[in-house]
Amino acid sequence: MSTYDAFTISGYHVKSRQGMDHWSAILEEWILTIERYSRLCEGREAPFVFTEVANVGLLAAAVWRSGGIATQEYVATKGVKHRPKWTGRVDLWLYSNGKEQILEAKLNNLPVEHNQDVSGFVEEKLGIALEDARQSKSTMDVDSLGTLFIVPSITLNQVKRLDDSDEEYVYHQRLEEYIDAILDTNNYQAAAWCFPKEMRYTPDEEGFEEGIKGDGKVYPGVVLLLKKYR
């Protein structure tokens, strides 16, 4: 499912026969939650420019909004088989549509204009989350998920160059290409993306001359990847 118009880029994809069907409703609510947050803040801040914890919080909100229940910082026994165990905290515990799962998340920035191998980037960063998921699963008889929030950034100068192009919607199309490059890695069982219209301002707009963080950059959206540990 995907939405395309002159302002909004959002969508989600859940692979079939992976025991992840309940994530369709969750990811739809996740998109709506980010859109509402960005709209009410009038583009002056967005949850995906904050910390990993803030982003997991919105995912928890989406679980609740879709009819499930969720708890952040869930206390659990961590460790791997035949090794010493310890008490730690799981980023998110959820129960949705009869399915109990735990989730470990990481947040990383990947600029819109970059020279990185996207497949290698996703494998490395999502692999760290999956390792945490492996540790958190321990003796729990539940699915353990690794989650990666990828936040793009683009400088205001780069936005201006795209905006000054003679072609229509070049900035929009560049973001679509960015999303497609991540999805083309196929290294996930569910994915979602949200690029709210309020966050895709240009350098000419009053109040945004220095960017949302005062660093001369725009943070137009977020891509979310989910993958089960084994």
On whether the CB atoms of residues 92 and 71 are closer than 8 A, the answer is yes
For the stretch 30-85, pLDDT in tens is 999 999 999 998 888 888 999 999 999 999 999 999 999 999 988 765 555 545 45
Per mean pLDDT, which range of 19-33, 96-110, 161-175, 200-214 is the poorest?
200-214
Identify residue 46 by its one-letter amino acid code. A
Residue 27's pLDDT band, with cuts at 50, 70 and 90, is very high
The pLDDT of residue 210: 74
pLDDT score at 58: 95
Assign 3 a pLDDT band (cuts: 50, 70, 90).
very low
pLDDT at residue 202, as a whole number: 60
Residue-averaged pLDDT of the chain: 87
**For 147-200, what is each residue's pLDDT tens digit?**
999 999 999 888 888 878 777 688 889 999 999 999 999 999 999 999 999 887
**Residue 211 clears pLDDT 80, i.e. is over it:** no
Q: Give the per-residue pLDDT at 5.
A: 43
> What pLDDT is attached to residue 129?
96
**10 Å Cβ neighbour count for 68?**
21
The pairing of strands 217-218 and 9-14 is unpaired
Highest mean pLDDT among 14-23, 86-95, 119-128 belongs to 119-128
Q: What is the pTM of this model?
A: 0.89
CA-to-CA distance for 82 and 140, rounded, in angstroms?
14
User: Residues of 144-153 as b/e, b for ≥16 C-beta within 10 angstroms?
Assistant: bbbbbbbbbb
The Cα–Cα gap between 226 and 24 comes to: 12
Report the distance separating Cα 157 and Cα 222, nearest Å.
Answer: 21
pLDDT value of residue 71: 94
Residues in Cβ contact with 122 at an 8 Å cutoff, skipping those fewer than 6 apart: 148, 150, 182, 185, 187, 225
Q: Are 85 and 111 in contact (CB under 8 A)?
A: no
Q: Which of 183, 192, 222 is nearest to 66 (CA)?
A: 192
CA triple 162-165-170, angle to 5 deg:
55
pLDDT at 1: 41
- By three-state DSSP, how is residue 186 classified? coil
**What share of the chain has pLDDT > 70, as a percent?**
86
Burial of 176 (0-12, 13-18, 19+ CB in 10 A): middle
- Lowest-pLDDT range of 118-122, 155-159, 225-229: 155-159
